[in-house]
Homo-oligomer: A and B are copies of this chain.
Amino acid sequence: MSTMMELVEELWFLKRDIVSDDFDKALHRLSEEIPMTIHEYPTGSQAWTWKVPEKWTCHEAYLESMDGERLIDYTDHPLHVVSYSLPFEGEVTREELLGHLHVHPHIHNAIPFVFKYYQRDWGLCASQELRDSLIDEKYRVVIRTSFDPGILKVGEVIIPGKSDECFMLVAHLCHPAMVNDDLTGVVVGVDVARKIFEGPKPEYTYRLLILPETIGSVAYLSDHEDLIPKMVGGLFLEMLGNHAPLALQQSMQPESQVDKTLIAVLRGCDPKSYVGPYRTIICNDERQFNAPGVRVPMLSLSRVEKPESIESLYQPYPEYHSSCDIPAIVNQERLEAARDTVIEMLHAFEKNRYVVNKFKGEVFASGFGIWIDYKENPEGHRNLFQIMERCDGERTVADIAIELRITFQTVWDILSTIAKKDLVTYSSTPKSTTPRREQV
A287 on the B face (CB < 8 A): yes
Kindly supply a per-residue 1/0 record for chain A positions 219-238, scoring 1 wherever the CB is within 8 Å of any chain B CB and 0 otherwise.
Answer: 00110010011111100000
Contact B218 A361 (CB under 8 A): yes
Contact B288 A48 (CB under 8 A): no
Residue from B221, B433, B440 in contact with A258 in the complex, judged by beta carbons closer than 8 Å: B440
Residues of B within 8 A of A67 (CB): none
Count of A interface residues, CB-CB < 8 Å: 61
**Interface members, chain A 327-377 (any B CB < 8 Å):** 357, 359-364, 366-368, 371
Is A162 at the interface (CB under 8 A from chain B)?
no
**Complex formed: what's the CA distance from A135 to B411 in Å?**
47
The answer to whether A359 touches B49, judged by C-beta atoms less than 8 angstroms apart, is yes
Q: Which of A240-257 contact B (CB under 8 A)?
A: 252, 256-257
Besides A232-B440, A252-B389, A293-B357, 18 other A-B contacts (C-beta < 8 A):
A48-B360, A48-B361, A49-B363, A49-B364, A49-B368, A51-B367, A118-B366, A118-B371, A218-B361, A221-B360, A233-B440, A257-B440, A291-B362, A292-B359, A292-B361, A293-B359, A294-B435, A295-B435
Q: Which residue numbers of A lie inside 8 Å of B, CB to CB?
A: 48-51, 117-119, 165, 214, 217-218, 221-222, 225, 228-233, 252, 256-258, 279, 287-288, 290-295, 297, 357, 359-364, 366-368, 371, 385-386, 388-392, 423, 433-440
List of 5 A-B pairs having minimum Cβ-Cβ separation, nearest first:
A293-B360, A118-B366, A50-B364, A292-B357, A49-B364
